[in-house]
Structure 1
Amino acid sequence: MDTGVKRAFRFRFYPTPAQADLLNRTFGSVRLVYNMALQARTEAWRDRQERVNYTATSAMLTAWKKTGELAFLNEVSCVPLQQCLRHLQNGFTAFWEKRARYPRFKSKRKSRASAEFTASAFTYKNGRLTLAKMAEPLDVVWSRPLPEGTAPSRVTVTRDSAGRWYVSLLCDDTVEALPPTGTTVGADAGLHHLIVLSTGEKIDNPRHERADRTRLARAQRALSRKEKGSRNRDKARLKVARVHARIADRRRDHLHKLTTRLVRENCEYGGVLLRAVV
């Protein structure tokens, strides 16, 4: 039986210098607004035992934009700023319900650079995606088609530590049930192998980091010699991040191919059944 779901499709894109500048300023504004709202909510609870909700932080954002020192917030789309306040509200809701830890401040170095745009802040037509405040569409590498007859409802733009740009489009999609094979398989994570299947098959661990161990060590030594705060250190840090990204990409690709094969070969009664051997 087919099932309707919300599914995100991720693509790489290459922004122009003007687009990259606008997106970088958007990332910084999102991080700043999130941290300021978190600080305000923390102080309200600590000083007055008052719970500040999303509506109150949204009003704060409007007031911040009218001040001279934060007027630059008007230069980016307001939608990602509102979205980060909604995410903060979700974080507090999860904390109050004891499902998560207390929300933490976003760091420029450690936090992912991202901005979320709802349907009012982008246009998608004939395979061309244009974000708010941009005059030209993004140069997206459409590596696979979006579901036919649907349009994205939300767009998330990210920049990873290696300096690569990605856009994720949330669309309605239909998941088709796999044909039943009548077979199941047990999987055991091994010490000398990645996994050992109940069929007797042993899948080796590719150990992708070994192929780039020399390159990573050389890049890390070069980084350690650079002066903190210098542009050369930023360049060296980017080289280290790119080596890590290469290792992570190869590992992720291998795992995706492996799990896809196991799911397609062991689909019992039209549903997937994998048994972990403990």
Structure 2
Amino acid sequence: MFLPDIYWCNKIKTERFLSMLVSDLMTQYTLVTEQENSKDKGIEANLGKIIAKYQSQGVGRKEKEGNVVKSTPSLFVDLYTILNEANKIQKLSGFDDDIWKQLEVGEFVEVDGEFKQSPAELLLSSVMDFTEQFKGHFEFAATAEENANLELATKLLNLKKVTMIVNPYIEGDFKFFTSLETEYFLEDRYELEGDFTVMGKIRRIYKPHEKIDLIKLLPGKLRMKKEQLMTFIPNFKNEDISFDVGEINENSFELKGPAIEIMPIAIYQE
């Protein structure tokens, strides 16, 4: 079994799914060793509480006790192993329309694809980062209205969640998207753009031409018009300062089905 390079892993969801599959899951345990022979003595454990019983043999021997906690990647590998051996994961490294149509809400899937941050969130997070980095420069370069918009965006948004769009490596208009909680990021959110694999559970399936409003997925369910969101892009006239958000326009803030929303457990590279 592989130990992937984990970039995002929700430990809470991993433990929850594991506890549903394995009644005596142990995420941490107490280890007691004897100084003379370092022999493991005895461990009993249940999810939620750890019960350790030790039988002492011999007199005068010193024992050392330590707490061992399973890492998040190792918990994920446990979950993946159990689901994979039970054939409970649909691996969508390549698929066609027939495979897409048989997918159901609640299934575990593994998807390879190109990850991109939602344009709505990419715009706002980039503006906030840009604001912090070049605050002293654009106070003079930007207009009063632009500075006001930037300050408003910074105050309104603390991006605790990030929506990632996954374009699979197949022909067609199939898309996946998932919402990540930034507290579990093991890398900067910009590092999660590129080629990755996501493993998770299908939350919702969108039909062809059904629309997903990415603005409604903004953290805190922030509501604003597309035109207002576009005003957050500063229009600097200084050659030494650039602000690159790609080809973002008002049409970028909407996805069209067929699309699947995934409740993520981990994002990784093998």
- Give the structure-1-normalised TM-score: 0.23
Larger Rg computed on CA atoms? 2
Tell me which protein shows more helix as a share of its residues.
1
Structure ranking higher on relative contact order (CA contacts 8 Å, 6+ apart) = 2
